Amino acid sequence: MQQIDWANLPFGYSDSDYNVRCYYRNGAWGKIEVSSSSVINMHMAATCLHYGQEGFEGLKAYTGKDGKVRLFRCEENAKRMQNTADRVLMAAPPVDLFREMVHQVVKLNARFVPPYGYGATLYIRPLLIGTSPEVGVRPSEEYVLLMFVVPVGPYFKAGFKPVDMMICRDFDRAAPLGTGTVKVGGNYAASLQSLELAKKLGFSSTIYLDAKEKKYIDECGPANFFGIKDNHYITPKSSSILPSITNKSLQQLAEHLGYVVERRPVPFEELSEFEETAECGTAAVITPIKKIVDPVTNTTFNYGDGVNAGPVCTRLYKEYTAIQFGEKPDLFGWTEVIDL
Ligand SMILES: Cc1ncc(COP(=O)(O)O)c(C=O)c1O
């Protein structure tokens, strides 16, 4: 059996032993099936391929200091997948089914769960797709919920270091009444071109403005945005951003630590007032930002000393990851232990 180099895991796909699948047919979910194939056999006219009837999730399992493997807010991912399913008329998997499949897929791939101490985790990718053949634009009658896992290293190899971001005005990720609030593949397809452009220009990622007026901060490529000023944690409220579970949890943590949390429209100009800014999401938890450049208006916003993360981001990051890795008590009831 091949040895896994825990210290040098990339953040990318690799095969594991098993995935789990559950089929929705004749109006009901079937039994959970275990597969060792990484291939899906499906009809060429499946609605997921033609009309984007698909949604996905991303969550992680963490080996704690005590050796126990924990999931972080799995139920929130289940509920978000239900919202995604409802928005594009797919069958919504029950929360219990979602949770059961997550537990099973982790247990079946227990040898891929990174041990404590490397900052590495087991990434779990649930995928829901419409599989019935259709040529007219209409929802599928049948669905598959599939989950696979990938051991991943820390998102940033160099550690918790700030990045440069580019304001994107030439592309929108999602429309105000579109599908931005749910996790469908189309949103990511819409973001690819601007993300490539930003990377080519040397930026880590993009920050989108609201699609209607281009006046407010929406979110980052695949992460939410927040700014810190005067002990306030400020994050955009908008009808086109994905409700990040990390952001929701950070808001709760920030409040607990004595910061005032504001969730409201954040005007572009306010970028000049923040002491710290960051993106947040499951992959990296918090990615501090040292510079935001708007190439169209030729404006640059700088944060901190240009090298290190700011004190509030650092504190939030440490407290948050300490809960995930079982180093500090989980006062919020966010984690559940997987019985391996
Ligand atoms: C568009 C977008 N925004 C925000 C997030 C962060 O969400 P979460 O904290 O639930 O990972 C993600 C990642 O899933 C995302 O794809």
Query: What span, in angstroms and rounded, lies between the C-alpha atoms of 246 and 254?
Result: 12
Query: Is the Cβ atom of 228 under 6 angstroms away from ligand 1?
Result: no
C-alpha 142: how far from chain center: 26
65 is a catalytic site residue = no
DSSP letter string over 59-95? EEEEE-TTS-EEEESHHHHHHHHHHHHHHTTPPPPPH
Query: What span, in angstroms and rounded, lies between the C-alpha atoms of 87 and 184?
Result: 9
pLDDT tens digits, one per residue of 140-158: 999 999 999 999 998 777 7
Query: Is the Cβ atom of 121 under 6 angstroms away from ligand 1?
Result: no
Adjacent-strand bridge partners of 227: 234, 277
Query: Is the Cβ atom of 242 under 6 angstroms away from ligand 1?
Result: yes
Q: How far is CA 153 from CA 108, 150, 183, in A?
A: 20, 10, 23
Q: Which domains does the chain have, with CATH numbers?
A: 6-152 (3.30.470.10), 163-323 (3.20.10.10)
C-alpha 199: how far from chain center: 19
pTM of the model: 0.97
pLDDT tens digits, one per residue of 32-61: 999 999 999 999 999 999 999 999 999 999
328: which residues sit within 8 A by CB, 6+ positions away? Answer: 319, 322
Structure-block tokens of residue 85: 């399913």
Which ligand 1 atom is the nearest neighbour of the CA of 58? 14
pLDDT at 329: 97
pLDDT tens digits, one per residue of 82-119: 999 999 999 999 999 999 999 999 999 999 999 999 99
Adjacent-strand bridge partners of 289: 163, 277
